[in-house]
Amino acid sequence: MIGSGSVPSHHGPGRRRRRVRAGLRVTLFAALLLPLASACGDTGGLAGAGATPTASGPVHLWPGRAGAVVPPADPGGAPPEYVPGIAAVQDQNVHGIDPAALVQAELRAHPNVQTGPDGMPPETITAIRECGADGADPKKCPVLTPYYRDLTGNGKDELIVGIEYPEQQMSVRVYTADAQGRLNRIMATTDTLISVELAGRDVILRVPSGNAGYEVNTTWSWDETQRSMLPTWEQIVRVPGAGPSRAPAPSPSPGSPGASR
């Protein structure tokens, strides 16, 4: 029998324990959902990686030294080197020019020159004069098959001529035609060449370096101010697969410990 002063309790110890356990379950469930919610909100953007080192510019060594002075470029550019003795080029189209006849015209304009851009060995001069002659062997003509590429950016092809010299030397010449039909030589250089390459509007010459296993790549580009092709970039490149040169080990003498018995 329950006394009049006793009221049944609905908040006893068991009920409190159940409420604590339920609260823990809710807290644990929320903690598990938090990483998932963070992952769902990740849009794949860049994350900070911390402080980065400050970029430093080049340090000027010996600033008090009086350096060499670069003279200003001639605003008129280099004078054009027109090739005399050939027919006028129609519509700046150099595809119809005979490269052997072109080089022969340059030989007539600069006879017996052996140095400089027009210099040639005597045997090469003799062979060029025979190019195209009746009964001459075309394979013996040192003027190679020409190539064409717009190197000046004027929308017209330039003429690229190669001339073989003895001992694997080669002369590379480039010509462009102006609106008056005159042919202007904008590049002429001679070197011991590994190869000649075209990359965009650049001519790249690969030559052996003075260091074994390396070559020098020189890039020639059109310069609008000078109105000619200039060597604008030079790079020393290691030849792929060129390992260190090693002399063969000497054979052991008969009396040495390494000799076979």
Q: What is the pLDDT of residue 241?
A: 80
d(CA 187, CA 203): 10
Mean pLDDT, rounded, for 184-189: 97
- Rounded to 10 degrees, what is the CA torsion of 68, 66, 75, 77? 0
Please tell me whether residue 171 adopts helix, strand or coil conformation: strand
Per-residue pLDDT reduced to its tens digit, 134-169:
989 999 999 999 999 999 999 999 999 999 999 999
Residue 12 has pLDDT above 80, yes or no: no
Residue 215: count other Cβ atoms within 10 Å of its Cβ.
17
Q: What is the pLDDT of residue 5?
A: 44
Query: Phi-psi category of 112—alpha, beta or left, where left has phi over 0 and alpha has psi -120 to 50?
Result: left
| Inter-axis angle of helices 99-109 and 122-129, nearest 10 | 130
Residue 7 has pLDDT above 50, yes or no: no
d(CA 114, CA 246): 39
Mean pLDDT, rounded, for 200-221: 97
252 is written with which tokens?
Answer: 């052991």
Per-residue pLDDT reduced to its tens digit, 115-130:
899 999 999 999 999 9
d(CA 125, CA 244): 40
Closest CA to 231 of 243, 240, 222, 242: 222
Residue 231 has pLDDT above 70, yes or no: yes
* Radius of gyration for the alpha carbons in the chain, expressed in angstroms and rounded: 40
Please tell me whether residue 196 adopts helix, strand or coil conformation: strand
The verdict on pTM exceeding 0.75 is: no
Closest CA to 85 of 111, 112, 65, 113: 111
78 is written with which tokens?
Answer: 């280099």
Per-residue pLDDT reduced to its tens digit, 55-79:
778 899 999 999 999 998 888 888 9
- Residues 6 or more apart in contact with residue 145 via CB below 8 angstroms: 99
Mean pLDDT, rounded, for 84-97: 96
